[in-house]
Amino acid sequence: MTTYNGHKNWNHWNVSLWIYNDETLYNCARNYVRSRTRTRDQAARDMLADLHRHGITHTPDGAPYSRSAIRAAMREM
């Protein structure tokens, strides 16, 4: 299996890049992860729903935000 800069694919890498380098996205992700009532999968689902509610569906580079890409970015949080 080929990886992209240590990530599953370009989409996961790009979503992770934006979450870790945009202060607002990073703080949002950390808040979801810190909630003790959520698993990583639930946190990713909830963050994705909030992004979509605000009309944010893709990173500025065009990678679509997905639950699996957000969950992968949250892995190290």
In this predicted model, what pLDDT tens digit does every residue of 17-47 receive, in sequence order? Answer: 999 999 999 999 999 999 877 789 999 999 9
| Per-residue pLDDT, 77 | 86
**Domain assignments of the chain as residue spans, ordered by start:** 10-74
Q: Taking residues 51-66, report their average pLDDT.
A: 97
The CA-atom distances, in angstroms, between 68 and each of 29, 44, 47, 58 are 13, 8, 11, 14
Q: Measure the CA–CA gap between 52 and 7, rounded to whole angstroms.
A: 23
